[in-house]
Amino acid sequence: MAVNYIYPDCEVVRNYDRCISCRACERQCANEVHSYIEEENKVVSNDAECVDCHRCVSICPTRALKIVPTDHNFKANASWSKTNIYEVYKQAESGGVLLSSMGNPNAFPIYWDKILLNASQVTNPSIDPLREPMETRVYLGAKNQEVKRDADGRVIPEMTPQLKLSMPVMFSAMSYGSISYNAHESLARASQELGIFYNTGEGGLHEDFYQYGANTIVQVASGRFGVHRGYLDAAAAVEIKMGQGAKPGIGGHLPGAKIGEDVSRTRMIPVGSDAISPAPHHDIYSIEDLRQLVFSLKEATAYTKPVIVKIAAVHNVAAIASGIARSGADIISIDGFRGGTGAAPTRIRDNVGIPIEMALAAVDTRLREEGIRDRVSVLAAGSIRNSADVVKAIALGADAVYIGTAALLALGCHLCRTCNVGKCNWGIATQVPELVRRLNPDVGYKRLVNLMTAWNHEIEEMMGGMGINSIESLKGNRLMLRGVGLNEKELSILGIKHAGE
Amino acid sequence: MAADDSREGNIIMTEGVTRIPSGCAISGIFSRSGKRMSGEAVMKSISVMHERSNGLGGGFAAYGIYPEYREYYAFHIFHNDNTAKIACEKFLERHFDIVSASNIPTRKIPAITDEPLIWRYFALPLKTKLASSQLDEREFVAKCAFRINKDIEGSYVFSSGKNMGVFKAVGFPEDVGRFYRLEEYEGYCFTAHGRYPTNTPGWWGGAHPFSLLDCTVVHNGEISSYDANRRSIEMYGYPCTLQTDTEVIAYIIDYLNRKCGFSYEEICDIVAAPFWSEIDKMPVAKKKLYEYYRSAFSQYLITGPFSILVGFEGGMMALNDRLKLRSMVAGTRGDMVYAASEEAAIRVIEPDIERVWAPSGGECVIARLYPEAFEALKGGK
């Protein structure tokens, strides 16, 4: 008799007093968890197939369903957790590398939650954003300090290319292929309405979305998928992807199953072929090579667009950022180790890189020590969960942040972390037409706009409380932050004082 | 690091060790025709606002007071003791040709105690030193002042401009004025400051005005952008050791003026920039200019309440934060220009003031010497 080593993580609990056997769950579940037994007029569930995405729970008209973690477990063992044991079983069975999706879920310190914000009391007034102007507009790009004047002595307002954001948040790189057409449309339309930017990721830009070019950042990654002149021309800025927080040091792999007609045309690769991004850019083996690519892209875009260099937060991130700041890049994007992914080897995702809070603080400090902070803007990404995280990131030194997971949650994602399977019941991380149709871009874009509008209000409230009425006065304003429960080393790297100091 | 000392117990948290917010009174008097007035008037003006200070800091900046030495940089220096004085003077002698060195005359009064050695030196950079530094003369002087303040323990340069001087101490401003015998000085411009810190500064260097070369700042307020401003300006060679708003404001003004070449009007547009809602309505060319100020120099936007008086050679600037979160009134009569935290402080010295108004937030008021007066100041005749 075959032995099944794996007991399902979760159990589908159906309240038969409520279930009316409408079979909606059965129809909605791409994983085929639910099935109908005609003779008994009864719907049953197979826990083993459930990914815990809550699609059935959310659409059940009588609230008959819930998914609960199983209480079946191994004998308690602090070293050998259930996850550790199951991973061994899986690899003993498959002989393969474990894959995971979305950001690192493990219990590493979350520094955002150990940082508190300041507010005005007595010695200076807080400012009410409902009564006074409260400014969250940000310009990204180099801040050239050399002032030029014309023959009459008037200042010539000459700027290097800048990105103008209505608020300091953008949607981070998620490729067409890893997420659906409708997800991309939602992000693009929301960016346009909000006056911010979304990022194509490395999968090229679908021809339907060229119309949103003014709010689009296009990515040039190691696979160079979909990169051509029109692609660069369409965009507001070009991002060179050197690394990703969820998988520093390795490339990407979009399985051939996801390369349908449309994705194939956008990526400029044959239908059904695996899209493999090499680990490094094979024309960049060192910093001087990066400089060449930066300037190649600037030449190709006639120096009209900012060039962003995105790196994963790794141990030596400050020195790397310093090199990038001197390479001609206009903006550096740092992706922390909790950043999301459509698919990454589990070991890489869970063990490589450093927290964005530390990386951001270290980069901002280093660039200032070297006197080159004004040469670049700095973006922080990888685990920005709410508007307070945004405010803290900016006070640590970021010009703006990228959000990925939060944006997907707004579109309906339930963080089941099985994007790599391609059967996303929410129509986000899938290319299956019937599933993609479930995400209505008219609704999706509006939810993104709502989320950002809400965050912006909250950012304004927090700024007003601190007596700050313009976001630029918050940037790098670390005196507005205090740590709680952090040791001296952590405080010194973050460059903040402890609460009570 | 110094900050750790504060935990050890009895050590008083001095300026630069911790950040001390403070409320304040300010007043300024300016004669556009360059008429030289005694320091009496400004003392009278600031004393009216006694309630706005708490006796923990007062000071004055006076312009045009050293015509006989107008070619020379006038260093006003606090020395804690003779050891510091000797070390500091050695440094000065290595870098400057000192034509005069003397005590700054003071008057013993009960209200002012614990005074350090207060010295004044008129000096010019040594030509050889200046040449080998490859700096322009003013940058050389500024760098030397920074060096003394940072490296020579117990000595602190609190004034370093030409034909002007700062006088400050721990005490109520009117007492500080008496102490320094301010009535014996004559100048075309005086600014004054009374301080209301929320902690004990205990150190004379922390009082206002704060100065670098001939630029002096007196300030009332607590800026919320402080650390953003500080961390930006420190990149350009302005180590902020005092942790005061005034220090960082003075450095920003010096940087934008001396290093970037902005006029004082343009500086106002940067540090107290119009709101985007106003900029967006401007004609295209103007809009582009303000967009440039606010993106390329966004790190120098100052938010939170402030009213400042900036003194400089031949001029005085009054400026409020963009929301006008601190009071400030300006007035004129004939060639005279006044600015103070309260109207009473102007009326007490000029009851027949012709025009009094409260400049709106972000609106700069700049008084300058008439051209012939400026000529005369520079030694034209």
- Band (pLDDT 50/70/90 cuts) for residue A124 is confident
| A286 min Cα distance to partner chain B (Å) | 27
Q: Tell me how long chain B is.
A: 381
Which residue reads 């159990």 in tokens? A11
Q: How many separate helices (H) and strands (E) can be counted in chain B?
A: 12, 18
> What residue in A sits closest to B260 (Cα-Cα)?
A147
Residue A184's nearest CA partner among A414, A452, A404 is A404
Q: Which of B223, B289, B323 sits opposite A132 (nearest CB)?
A: B323
Q: In this structure, which topology does domain B72-161 adopt according to CATH?
A: Alpha-Beta Plaits (3.30.70)
Q: How far apart are CA A456 and CA A471, in angstroms?
A: 11
Q: β-strands A148-149, A155-156: how paired?
A: antiparallel
Structure tokens at B343: 């109207």
Q: Point out the least confidently predicted range of B177-186, B243-252, B286-295.
A: B243-252
Residue A120's nearest CA partner among A460, A458, A457, A468 is A468
Q: Which of B198, B236, B260 sits opposite A147 (nearest CB)?
A: B260
Residues of chain A with Cβ-Cβ distance to B223 below 8 Å are 124
Active-site residue (options: B24, B144, B189, B240): B24
Do B52 and B24 meet the contact criterion of CB atoms below 8 Å apart? yes
Q: How far apart are CA A9 and CA A90, in angstroms?
A: 14
pLDDT in tens, A61-111: 999 999 999 999 999 999 999 999 999 999 999 999 999 999 999 999 999
Q: Which pLDDT belongs to residue A61?
A: 97
| B153 min Cα distance to partner chain A (Å) | 24
pLDDT in tens, B30-42: 999 999 999 999 9
Q: Which pLDDT belongs to residue A255?
A: 82
Q: Which helix (H) or strand (E) holds A310?
A: strand A307-312
Residue B339 phi/psi, 5-degree rounding, is -150, 135
Q: β-strands A377-381, A115-117: how paired?
A: unpaired
CB of A323 less than 8 A from some CB of B:
no
Q: Determine, for residues B22 and A123 on separate chains, whether the beta-carbon distance falls below 8 Å.
A: yes
Q: Determine, for residues B299 and A480 on separate chains, whether the beta-carbon distance falls below 8 Å.
A: no
Active site residue B24: yes
Q: Point out the least confidently predicted range of A403-407, B204-208, B267-271.
A: B204-208
The full 3-state SS of A357-382, as one line of letters, equals HHHHHHHHHHHHHCCCHHHCEEEEEC
Residue B2 has pLDDT above 70, yes or no: no
Is the link from the previous residue into A157 a cis peptide, with omega within 30 of 0? Answer: no
Residue A190's nearest CA partner among A466, A448, A398 is A448
| A482 min Cα distance to partner chain B (Å) | 13
Q: Point out the least confidently predicted range of B134-138, B143-147, B192-196, B317-321.
A: B192-196
Residues of chain A with Cβ-Cβ distance to B276 below 8 Å are 133, 135, 137
Q: Which pLDDT belongs to residue A350?
A: 96
| A369 min Cα distance to partner chain B (Å) | 7
CB of A467 less than 8 A from some CB of B:
yes
Burial of B299 by CB count in 10 Å (0-12 exposed, 13-18 middle, 19+ buried)? buried
Structure tokens at A207: 């021809």
Q: How many Å separate Cα A239 from the centre of its chain? A: 14
Residues of chain A with Cβ-Cβ distance to B261 below 8 Å are 147, 149
pLDDT in tens, B157-170: 999 999 999 999 99
Do A486 and A403 meet the contact criterion of CB atoms below 8 Å apart? no
Do A4 and A89 meet the contact criterion of CB atoms below 8 Å apart? no
Q: How far apart are CA B297 and CA B349, in angstroms?
A: 39
pLDDT in tens, B44-88: 999 998 888 777 788 999 999 999 999 999 999 999 999 999 999
Amino acid type, A334: I
Residues A438-469 as b/e (b if ≥16 CB within 10 A, e otherwise) read bbebeebbbbbbebbeebbebbbbbbbbbbbb
How many alpha carbons fall within 13 Å on the CB side of residue B255?
A: 23
Q: Which pLDDT belongs to residue B98?
A: 97
When the pLDDT of each residue in chain A is averaged and rounded to a whole number, the result is 95
Q: How far apart are CA A214 and CA A446, in angstroms?
A: 19
Other C-beta atoms within 10 Å of A379: how many? 24
- In CATH, the number for domain A10-96 is 3.30.70.20
Q: Which of A162, A373, A477 sits opposite B295 (nearest CB)?
A: A162
* A107-132 mean pLDDT: 93
Structure tokens at B63: 């312009």
Residue A371 has pLDDT above 90, yes or no: yes
Q: Determine, for residues A467 and B291 on separate chains, whether the beta-carbon distance falls below 8 Å.
A: no
Residue B330's nearest CA partner among B340, B320, B319 is B340
Max Cα distance, chain B (Å): 61
Do A8 and A50 meet the contact criterion of CB atoms below 8 Å apart? yes
pLDDT in tens, A325-342: 999 999 999 999 999 999
Do A397 and A476 meet the contact criterion of CB atoms below 8 Å apart? yes
Beta bridge partners of B159: B76
Q: Point out the least confidently predicted range of A269-273, A474-478, B261-265.
A: A269-273
Tell which of B52, B220, B231 to mutate to test the A interface (max A CBs under 10 Å). Answer: B231
Q: Which pLDDT belongs to residue B3?
A: 37
**Per-domain residue ranges for chain B?**
72-161
Q: β-strands A237-241, A216-220: how paired?
A: parallel
The full 3-state SS of A211-265, as one line of letters, equals HHHHHEEEEECCCCCCCCHHHHHHCCEEEEECCCCCCCCCCEEECHHHCCHHHHH
* A372-401 mean pLDDT: 97
Angle at the Cα of A283 from the Cα atoms of A282 and A284, rounded to 5 degrees: 90
Residues of chain B with Cβ-Cβ distance to A162 below 8 Å are 295
Residues of chain B with Cβ-Cβ distance to A363 below 8 Å are none
Q: How many Å separate Cα B167 from the centre of its chain? A: 10
Q: How far apart are CA B346 and CA B241, in angstroms?
A: 34
Q: Which residues make Cβ contacts (< 8 Å) with residue A396, sequence separation at least 6?
A: A357, A360, A361, A364, A380, A476, A478, A481, A494, A495, A496
Do B333 and B352 meet the contact criterion of CB atoms below 8 Å apart? yes
Residue B5 has pLDDT above 50, yes or no: no
| A144 min Cα distance to partner chain B (Å) | 6
Note the helical H segments in B96-193: 127-133, 137-151, 173-179
- Band (pLDDT 50/70/90 cuts) for residue B11 is very low
Residue A161's nearest CA partner among A225, A204, A217, A245 is A217
The full 3-state SS of A63-106, as one line of letters, equals CCEEEEECCCCCCCCCCCCHHHHHHHHHHHHHCCCCEECCCCCC
Q: Determine, for residues A478 and B227 on separate chains, whether the beta-carbon distance falls below 8 Å.
A: yes
Q: How many Å separate Cα A367 from the centre of its chain? A: 24
Q: Which residues make Cβ contacts (< 8 Å) with residue A146, sequence separation at least 6?
A: none
Residue B216's nearest CA partner among B149, B289, B151, B160 is B160
Residues of chain A with Cβ-Cβ distance to B293 below 8 Å are 157
pLDDT in tens, A161-189: 999 999 999 999 999 999 999 999 999 99
* B142-167 mean pLDDT: 94
What Rg do the C-alpha atoms of chain A give, in angstroms?
A: 24
Angle at the Cα of A314 from the Cα atoms of A310 and A317, rounded to 5 degrees: 70
Q: Determine, for residues A374 and B232 on separate chains, whether the beta-carbon distance falls below 8 Å.
A: yes
DSSP characters for B86-115? HHHHHHHHHHEEEEEEEEPP----TT--S-
Structure tokens at A190: 């929301």
Q: Which pLDDT belongs to residue B15?
A: 59
**Per-domain residue ranges for chain A?**
10-96, 138-498
CB of A141 less than 8 A from some CB of B:
yes
Which residue reads 């299956």 in tokens? A432
Residue B139's nearest CA partner among B245, B236, B61 is B236
Three-class SS state of B168: strand
Q: Tell me how long chain A is.
A: 501
* A207-212 mean pLDDT: 96
The pLDDT > 90 percentage for chain A reads 92
Residue B81 phi/psi, 5-degree rounding, is -160, -175
* A42-46 mean pLDDT: 97
The DSSP code for B259 is I
Long-range contacts of A263-269 (CB under 8 A, 24+ apart): A263/A176, A263/A177, A263/A203, A263/A431, A265/A207, A266/A176, A266/A177, A266/A203, A266/A204, A266/A205, A266/A206, A266/A207, A266/A226, A267/A176, A267/A177, A267/A203, A267/A204, A267/A225, A267/A226, A268/A204, A268/A225, A268/A226, A268/A228, A269/A225
Q: How far apart are CA B70 and CA B99, in angstroms?
A: 12
- In CATH, the number for domain A138-498 is 3.20.20.70
